[in-house]
A = this chain, B = another copy of it.
Amino acid sequence: MHLFWLLLLLTMSGLLSAQEASEVAEEPTLAGLQSSIEAAQSSLTMIWLVITGALVFFMQAGFAMVEVGLTRAKNAANIIMKNLMDFAVGSVAFFFVGWGLMYGSTASGWIGTDHFALMGYSPDEITNILRNWFFQVVFAATAATIVSGAMAERTKFVSYLLYSVFISAIVYPISGHWIWGGGWLSEMGFHDFAGSTVVHSVGGWAALVGAILLGPRLGKYVKLPDGKVKVRAILGHNLPLAALGVFILWFGWYGFNPGSTLDGNSVDIGWVAVTTTLGASTGAVGAMIMSWILFKKPDTSMSLNGALAGLVAITAPTYVVEPWAAIVIGLIGGILVVLSVEFFDKVLHIDDPVGAISVHGVCGVWGTLSVGLFANRPNDKIVGLFYNGSFHQLGVQTLGVVTVFIWVVVTMGAFFFIVRQTVGLRVDEKEELQGLDITEHAAEAYPGFQIFSNM
């Protein structure tokens, strides 16, 4: 409450002058002081997690702007709607179901089994549980929203809503349980500090399955008479908004990674902020250079994706690697994302309008594996190949990467398949040509602006 006026009055009325207060107050005791200190430590974590959680929430704006910017104007209102509603329905799904599956008690190590709808906590526990839930729900929402970009410009809105519930309630929480919820992968020593695998690869692989089952946008891959396929670039309509989105995501990542210390008293918060910064920077540099080599020009949207690639890659190892390693990991992430985007587009002909599969799936894997190579935290028993010559950590990381890939591909594949056979996954041709804004929402993103009719 805004009780502050009361304190003001008391102060001014002189009833509680400093001297009198100290006369009235009990003598401090060692135990009393200790408990005050513990309360302050707990408060540090409280404000730290709520602020960093808010930063992670803000990444929703970043994802929305990147996706809007890199697609066509006729679908912008639909994209906004998806990015708004995946959080809205996803957070409710995570409240009722996901949290319990992820952080509920576990016997098997495979799945949490209680605390659905946050029930069953004692009054003492609940304030910290709510704090933790807030910090976790924004991560669940990040995983969900990654998929939106890869399935942009052709997905039925109602199916996207169903998907948002499914991934937030079931898919993300269960593999999350294995790694962050006390499950079997965490017991094996798998390390994913802030979610290269838990969040980004889960989103990236769901995006992959979705993009395959949807098929490419009309006109994206044109079969020529000689049997070859002509790959057409479908340009995004608003690069400044996409750039703004990337800056917002990078900003939000200072909640995502440093916040994942889960402790406002951690002495390593600055460490994580530094490796995050360097990884993002060299990711942009790597992608710029790679695009310069491949396309003869430093490509703007590739460089933007490079920053994201670096961020995704550094997310798992941020806490366990040294700054120089962050520079290397980000740089490789940036190079990788360009090659991967080209590979999925030109070779596999999987249509991913924003490059989500490459940024989040592929670079999520790279970041997770990089822990097995560059980690150097002996105190936490996380040391990689380059420091102890052992393939152990790399093996565990690989196991996690593979299992999560299988988990997501199987469950999301089954889900999208069932949706396709029932509700339908894709809008019809006429709707796609006209744009989803009109057909799905009776909306227009830019009334008044003259827009070329074929865009």
Interface residues of chain A, those whose CB is within 8 Å of chain B, are 1-6, 8-9, 11-12, 27-31, 33-34, 36-37, 39-44, 46-55, 57-58, 60-61, 64-65, 68, 72-73, 76-78, 80-81, 83-85, 87-89, 91-92, 95, 103, 105, 117-118, 125-128, 130-134, 137, 157, 179-182, 186, 191, 193-194, 235-241, 243-244, 246-248, 250-251, 254-255, 258, 260, 262, 264-271, 273-274, 277-278, 280-282, 284-285, 288, 295-301, 303-304, 307, 319, 323-324, 327, 380, 437, 440-452, 455
Contacts and interface: CB of A to CB of B under 8 A. Distances in A.
Contacts of A44: 40, 43-44, 47
Contacts of A445: 238-240
B254 A57 contact: yes
Contacts of A12: 105
Given A235-B444, A251-B58, A451-B448, A270 B27 contact: no
A148 to B, nearest CB: 13
Contacts of A33: 28, 30, 33-34, 37
A332 B27 CA distance: 51
Contacts of A277: 57, 91, 134, 137
A58 B273 contact: no
A51 B51 contact: yes
Contacts of A258: 50
Nearest to A295: B442
Specify how many copies of this chain sit in the oligomer.
Answer: 3
Given A40-B40, A251-B61, A278 B92 contact: yes
A320 B236 CA distance: 46
Contact of A134 (B58, B274, B443): B274
Contacts of A157: 298
Contact of A442 (B2, B130, B134, B297): B297
24 contacts: A2-B262, A4-B132, A5-B186, A6-B182, A8-B103, A28-B31, A33-B37, A43-B266, A43-B267, A44-B47, A61-B248, A64-B244, A76-B240, A88-B307, A89-B281, A89-B285, A128-B270, A130-B271, A130-B323, A137-B277, A238-B240, A239-B445, A244-B244, A298-B440
A186 B180 CA distance: 45
A442 B61 contact: no
B299 A442 contact: yes
A254 B446 contact: no
A61, A236, A301 interface centre (most CB from chain B within 10 Å):
A61
A417 B366 CA distance: 42
B239 A446 contact: yes
A46 B304 contact: no
B264 A43 contact: yes
B265 A43 contact: yes
A72 B31 CA distance: 64
B87 A299 contact: no
A37 B89 CA distance: 42
Contacts of A48: 47
A95 B325 CA distance: 13
Nearest to A11: B125
A2 to B, nearest CB: 4
A31 B26 CA distance: 11
Contact of A278 (B55, B91, B270, B285): B91
A2, A30, A61, A182 interface centre (most CB from chain B within 10 Å):
A2
A12 to B, nearest CB: 6
A370 to B, nearest CB: 16
A88 B281 contact: yes
Given A5-B180, A298-B157, A449 B447 contact: no
Given A47-B48, A264-B43, A95 B278 contact: yes
B251 A80 contact: no
Nearest to A157: B298
Nearest to A43: B265
A234 to B, nearest CB: 9
Nearest to A27: B30
